[in-house]
Amino acid sequence: MNTISLLHTLPRVFADRPSLPPSDIWKQDATLERGHLYLIEAASGTGKSSLCSFLIGYRQDYEGKILFDGSDIHEFCTYDWTQVRQRSLSTMFQELRLFPELTAWENVQIKNRLTNHKSDADICAWFEALGIADKREVKLAQMSFGQQQRVALIRALCQPFDFLLADEPVSHLDADNTAAMGELIMNEARSQGAGVIITSIGHHMDLPYDKVFKL
Amino acid sequence: MTLIWKLLRQHVSVGQLAGFFFANLLGMLIVLLSLQFYEDVVPAFSGEDGVMKNTYIILSKHISAVSTLGGEAQTFTDADIRDLEAQGFTRRVGAFTASQYQVYGSLSMGGMGIGTDMFFESVPDAFVDVQWPAVDAQTVPIILPRSYLAIYNFGFAQSKSLPKLSEGLVSMIQLDLRLRGEGGVERRMKGQVVGFSTRLNTVLVPESFMQQSNRELAPAAAAAPTRLIVEVKNPADDAIARYVQDKGYELEDNSLEAGRATYFLKVVAVIVMAVGLLISLLSFYILMLSIFLLVQKNADKLQNLVLIGYSPARVSRPYQLLTVGLNALVLLLSFVLLFWIRGIYLDRLWEMFPTLAEGPVSMTILIGFALFVIVSFFNIVAIRRKINRLTPRSPKMFKRGLYSTLNGK
């Protein structure tokens, strides 16, 4: 997948509002390309979660069109979406969507066993780099949200992708961990030639963004 | 799979699954047991003898002193046969063909010879349930009424101090036959008894032999049948008895009674089977409710798995395997219980009917497997549909390949 295009897209809940605050995405034509780094800055209530839900195929209550390489994702079937999520678009969810019953390691493995993308050694190295090597065998429920965010990132990197969509990835991280996470994302994206889309409602990673959208 | 199972087994209710298990076991057992019981018991009631089905009846015209003295024909005309064929209860009609020549049969045992005048009859081969065995051209295969053997053993042999004969022994003895036709044409042949029938009260030979020997030995005689064999749809049908009475025909043996007993046994078996099926159906419902509840409780986990790239088919699999496994266990245990119970009732049956052969089990096993396959299939489909409904909707759930064609994958 090389491009994600949004053509006059607008969440349906916004459709009957008389006036909308100016946005670089809603009701505009915007294209995101593979290999580039994007930041989407949003204030609360401007539809950031909706945008991510549309892109990952979780919701379809929008007007206008969203195209992956020119084809309308509204037409995708279950099989298409499974393929997209496994190979093209990796997501780090704002709400993480991790499994509290499993350990940090198992949470990553449940993805990596599906894709067989990374070796155990690679994953270990990432746990090390993000400072949670000692938490590998700890149940996720017993970890702080910041630690869970790092597990969620590692899980998101355990697959091939053309785009990485990270929804507020560093909302609960300190400066050091934010920097470590930024470095990890950029290394992995560069090695795959992938695009990265990061959303933020304030605190964000300091990275060389190609374009910043205001939502 | 293990990690997914670790996740998805949360909220599995052992109580509900046990409830399903026992309900389904009961239903399955009732279905299979009624079927097997029917298979085992029916021969005892229907008097089936392997030569003639119990849906066959044999008709003859009533013989009275008046009809005999008046020279009234006791044969069936073509019109009689056509009328019978037109009746609603009739499936098909066949005529008995009698030999139009004289038959003298003799056999010698241990230096003693006995002989008698006799006759042959044949019915169309389609009405004989046994395959006529292949014998050489000089030997005629014969099916005898079982009662003839009884008359010989308990009447004749007893009074003449002759040895008693078993069915097996008789089948090994060859009869010397002398067939004498018109103009003194004579033919000597061997006869071999190949079977016994409790229902057919005649000396039965193959139809082909009958036609050929009649042509050869009595070319001029054309015989109208004196007896008819009729296959009926349902021997318990009242219309048969009424028709027979109206026409002044006679029914041989008590085939109608046996037919009725079989018919009612069949009805009872079907009712019991229906109850079993109903229980199975309800247990299926319990299982589905239980699984649906499980899926609902684990909805967020299922959804998350799909959003990180698992296909709905893959996350459905643990629950599908769980139900299919349970169904298989139920099937296995039903078979074990079935054969255990069958052993008990067969012992009782043998006390009552010592000669009863046990019925075939193949049908029961087949039906058991068929039920297993059908129920499992519906389980699998229902679980998949339920999970599809939970996971993010897509308007074209099963239309494959838009993304894949795009990416050339």
Hey, what are B316's tokens? Answer: 């459905």
CB-based contact A78 B406, cutoff 8 Å:
no
For the stretch A118-133, what's the b/e string if a residue is b when 16 or more beta carbons lie within 10 angstroms of its beta carbon? beeeebeebbebbebe
State the pLDDT at residue B208. 87
pLDDT at B396: 47
Tokens for A8, please give them: 């006059």
Q: Is B403 close to A58, i.e. CB distance below 8 A?
A: no
CB contact under 8 A, A60 and B6: no
Q: B interface mutation test: which of A82, A90, A95, A106 has the most B CBs within 10 A? A: A82
Count CB atoms within 10 A of the CB of residue A95.
Answer: 10
**Nearest C-alpha of chain B: how many angstroms from A22?**
30
Identify the bridge partners of residue B249 per DSSP, sorted by sequence position.
B61
The pLDDT of residue B67 is 61
Q: Per-residue confidence at B175, pLDDT binned at 50, 70, 90?
A: confident
Taking CB atoms and an 8 Å cutoff, what residues of chain A touch B302? none
- For residue B258, pLDDT over 70 is answered with no
pLDDT digits (tens, 9 = 90+) for B107-159: 776 667 778 888 888 888 888 777 777 777 788 889 888 888 888 888 878 78
Which of A77, A101, A103 is best to mutate for the B interface (most B CBs within 10 A)?
A77
B187 touches chain A (CB under 8 A): no
3-class DSSP state of A62: strand
Is the CB of B407 inside 8 Å of chain A's CB atoms?
yes
Report whether pLDDT(B91) > 90.
no
- How are the residues of chain A apportioned to helix, strand and coil, as percentages rounded to the nearest 5? 40, 25, 40
pLDDT of residue B47 exceeding 60, the answer is no
Element housing A39 (H / E): strand A37-41
Q: Show the 3-state SS of A123-166.
A: HHHHHHHCCCHHHCCCEHHHCCHHHHHHHHHHHHHCCCCCEEEE
Count chain A–chain B contacts defined by CB atoms under 8 A: 108
Q: Which domains does chain A have, with CATH numbers?
A: 3-214 (3.40.50.300)
Q: To the nearest whole percent, how much of chain B has pLDDT over 70? A: 86
Stretch B33-62: mean pLDDT, rounded? 74
pLDDT score at A202:
81
Q: Does A112 touch chain B (CB under 8 A)?
A: no
User: Among A67-76, A183-192, B65-74, B89-98, whose mean pLDDT is lowest?
Assistant: B65-74
Instruction: Report residue B389 as tokens.
Output: 């409904």
Flag whether residue A211 sits within 8 Å of chain B, measured between CB atoms. Answer: no
Residue B242 CA: distances (Å) to CA of B86, B87, B248: 15, 12, 10
Q: Would you say the ipTM is above 0.95?
A: no
Burial of A110 (0-12, 13-18, 19+ CB in 10 A): buried
Note the pTM of the prediction, 2 decimals.
0.66
Residue B33 burial (CB < 10 Å; 0-12/13-18/19+)?
A: buried
> Residue ranges of the domains in chain B?
2-47+259-407, 97-224
Beta-carbon contacts of B343 under 8 Å, excluding residues fewer than 6 positions away, are none
pLDDT tens for residues A94-123? 999 999 999 999 999 999 999 999 999 999
Q: What is the pLDDT of residue B242?
A: 83
